């Protein structure tokens, strides 16, 4: 049985799924289980992903739904939830295992890939805020013991902020391992919509979520649009 399962939710990633999964092949060779969970892609994502993963699962669209579906079929006792636009550095798996030997969950520091000079500061503030609050975001590649995942009931079925919600639940089991090993996430959203505008939007959404706002409305404000049937 694998010691670690990586769960990767995807949707319409045909243009880049090869570059997403290629760096993970060395981990598969070392016994890491790679599970890709498709949320209803209408392109060739599933066909392209099939030879590059150990299991391909379909689930209703939404990261929470997809990650829960991946965890349900995972064989390992340790789970890593990885976004398609986040890359693991060398040594990430070893650092994860060392952390989970003593703590039940954790996340990595993040680096944002992009040209804007403010992105380094944004990443630094994300890492500091997470370290102080004990709350992690999906961009930081959450990992946990299966027992912890099951005790909190997995990811709440929310269209947005599922990472914040599960972090709050996991904190009740213990503080996160805040690894200084840095994963790299794409800075496209910040650069496309503007760094300062995106920062302000995210702070407003987080504040609204903390005050009990409807996650579906927050998702619409974030830019999520359900597909028309």
CA distance 24 to 182: 16
- Where helices occur in the chain by DSSP H, the ranges are 17-21, 25-29, 45-49, 63-73, 92-100, 119-133, 146-151, 162-171, 188-193, 195-210, 215-222
CB burial readout 65-98, b (16+ within 10 A) else e: bbbbbbbeebebebbbbbbbbbbbeeebbebbee
CA 116 to each of CA 121, 123, 186, 191, 201: distance values in angstroms, whole numbers, following the listed order: 10, 12, 12, 7, 18
Contact 31, 10 (CB under 8 A): no
For the chain, give the mean pLDDT: 89
* pLDDT (average), residues 183-195: 73
User: What pLDDT is recorded for position 117?
Assistant: 82
User: What pLDDT is recorded for position 74?
Assistant: 98
CA distance 144 to 134: 14
- Return the residue matching tokens 């890492």: 127
Of 96-105, 122-131, 144-153, 205-214, minimum mean pLDDT range: 205-214
User: What pLDDT is recorded for position 116?
Assistant: 81
Residue 108 has pLDDT above 50, yes or no: yes
Residue 174 has pLDDT above 50, yes or no: yes
Contact 161, 210 (CB under 8 A): no
**pLDDT per residue as tens digits for the range 201-226:** 666 666 666 657 666 665 565 556 55
* pLDDT (average), residues 59-82: 97
User: What pLDDT is recorded for position 44?
Assistant: 97
User: What pLDDT is recorded for position 156?
Assistant: 93
User: What pLDDT is recorded for position 201?
Assistant: 64
CB burial readout 207-221, b (16+ within 10 A) else e: ebbeeeeebeebbee
Most confident of the ranges 74-88, 107-121, 209-223: 74-88
Q: Which residue has the higher pLDDT, 53 or 192?
A: 53
Residue 191 has pLDDT above 60, yes or no: no
CA distance 224 to 208: 16
**pLDDT per residue as tens digits for the range 14-58:** 999 999 999 999 999 999 999 999 999 999 999 999 999 999 999
Residue 120 has pLDDT above 60, yes or no: yes
Q: What six digits make up the tokens of 131?
A: 């370290």
User: Does the domain at residues 5-188 carry the CATH identifier 3.40.50.300?
Assistant: no
User: What pLDDT is recorded for position 177?
Assistant: 98
Residue 228 has pLDDT above 90, yes or no: no
Residue 148 has pLDDT above 50, yes or no: yes
């Amino acid at each position: 049985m694998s010691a670690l399962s990586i769960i990767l939710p995807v949707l319409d990633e045909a243009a880049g799924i090869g570059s997403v999964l290629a760096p993970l092949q060395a981990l598969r060779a070392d016994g890491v289980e790679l599970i890709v969970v498709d949320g209803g892609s209408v392109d060739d994502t599933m066909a392209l992903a099939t030879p590059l993963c150990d299991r391909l699962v379909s689930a209703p669209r939404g990261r929470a739904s997809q990650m829960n579906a991946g965890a349900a079929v995972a064989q390992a006792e340790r789970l890593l939830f990885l976004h398609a636009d986040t890359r693991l550095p060398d040594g990430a798996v070893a650092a994860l295992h060392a952390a989970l030997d003593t703590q039940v969950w954790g996340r990595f520091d993040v680096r944002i890939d992009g040209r804007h000079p403010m992105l380094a500061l944004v990443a630094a503030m994300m890492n500091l805020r997470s370290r102080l609050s004990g709350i992690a975001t999906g961009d930081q590649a959450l990992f946990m013991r299966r027992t912890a995942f099951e005790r909190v009931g997995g990811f709440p079925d929310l269209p947005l902020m599922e990472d914040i919600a599960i972090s709050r639940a996991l904190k009740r089991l213990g503080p996160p391992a805040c690894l200084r090993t840095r994963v790299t996430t794409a800075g496209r959203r910040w650069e496309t919509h503007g760094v300062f505008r995106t920062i302000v939007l995210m702070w407003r959404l987080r504040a609204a979520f903390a005050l009990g706002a409807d996650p579906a409305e927050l998702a619409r404000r974030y830019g999520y649009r359900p597909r028309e049937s």
